[in-house]
Amino acid sequence: MSEEKSVPRAEQRRLQMADIARLAGVSVSTVSRALNGSTLVNPETRQRVADLARSLNYSINLSAQNLRLQKNRTIAVVVPYDADSRQHISDPFFLSIVGAIADALTDRGYDMLLQRVDAEHLDQASHAVDSGKAAGLLIIGQWRHHDQLNELAARKLPVVVWGAQLPQQLYCSVGGDNVLGGRLATEHMLSLGRRRIAFLGDAELPEVMHRREGYWQALRTAGIQPDPALELPAPFEVSMARRQMLDFFGAHRDIDAVVACSDLLALQSLQVLRALGRRVPEEVAVIGYDDMPLATYSDPPLSSVHQPVSKAGAELVAALLKMLEGERLAPITLPVHLSLRASAPVR
């Protein structure tokens, strides 16, 4: 019988970590932190250590480690489905913000569990945390169910919501300055000499309600009383919105500007106005909201209120991780600005 003894697995792993540390030019403790996704290690070093670990066939059992440390490194990202607004997960804004969240979670060493739940039953979003599949929740949008979100917060669930700051809010929200965005868009239209300015969007949704409030503020400051006849509560579903816009713009030939609550609605309005023989921006100027990349590819290129989506993803993740560490957080409002293009150019 051979007297040669095999090297214990723990010792093999320690030697491998030492090799990685030597090749990366860092300490073994830095390698350990990098492989565990610690933000104490800068992203470049984490990536270099991860690449070396793969080249040496080094693996770390995160499931076993999480069990041992009693730490879950998965975050559930919930995109509710609202039957009335019909905003699909394929909406460019959803894709952009989910992508930004995924990047931020990866930078922090967390995994993402993407979920779709009925907006009428947001309590279903808690199942991922209750079952132990996720450590916390990031919910994209408040929809019409502020009360349900408050109930989740009242249960002490770690939850952060992309949306507007609302009265009697118990949960932490991160969102753009919607009132400012609506006001900036409308003020620009007024500066172009436009006076019959339409607003597109369902103001029963909190973010849209605040954008409309900014629209109202700008009109009143200019001495113009808001006209409910110039407001169209269009859904996000394209074909339904198009039918409503055809009737709306056909009945209001005096409209000379459009402030839309999303880029998708603004782009649809460009098509409808063209179909009705209206010229953009000569007869009708158009501004959207979100400033998605596709805004630059429309004809004419779409002016839009820019939301800092990449920063939003990082802020949402940072807020939730602070909450998981026991911090109490106030709502966070991010700045917005106008991106002006040919659909509503500078005068």
Residue-wise pLDDT tens digits, 159-175:
999 999 999 999 999 99
The pair of three-digit structure tokens given for residue 263, joined into one six-digit string: 């880029």
Among 73-87, 133-147, 191-205, 302-316, the range scoring the smallest mean pLDDT is: 73-87
pLDDT (0 to 100) of residue 245: 98
64 pLDDT more than 50: no
85 pLDDT more than 70: no
Cα separation, 43 vs 202, whole angstroms: 41
The DSSP H or E segment spanning 175 is: strand 172-176
Cα separation, 227 vs 242, whole angstroms: 22
What φ, ψ does residue 119 adopt, rounded to 5°? -60, -25
Average pLDDT over every residue of 16-40: 80
pLDDT in tens, 316-345: 999 999 999 889 899 999 999 999 999 999
pLDDT in tens, 235-282: 888 888 999 999 999 999 999 999 999 999 999 999 999 999 999 999
pLDDT (0 to 100) of residue 107: 93
Among 65-74, 187-196, 258-267, the range scoring the smallest mean pLDDT is: 65-74
The pair of three-digit structure tokens given for residue 273, joined into one six-digit string: 């106005």
Among 86-100, 144-158, 225-239, the range scoring the smallest mean pLDDT is: 86-100
Measured CA angle at 234 (ends 230, 239), to 5 deg:
130
Percent of the chain clearing pLDDT 70 (strictly above): 89
pLDDT (0 to 100) of residue 262: 95
Q: pLDDT class for 97, splitting at 50, 70, 90?
A: very high
Please name which of 282, 272, 279, 295 lies closest in space to residue 341, comparing C-alpha atoms.
295
pLDDT (0 to 100) of residue 90: 76
pLDDT (0 to 100) of residue 118: 84
Please name which of 138, 145, 137, 98 lies closest in space to residue 119, comparing C-alpha atoms.
145
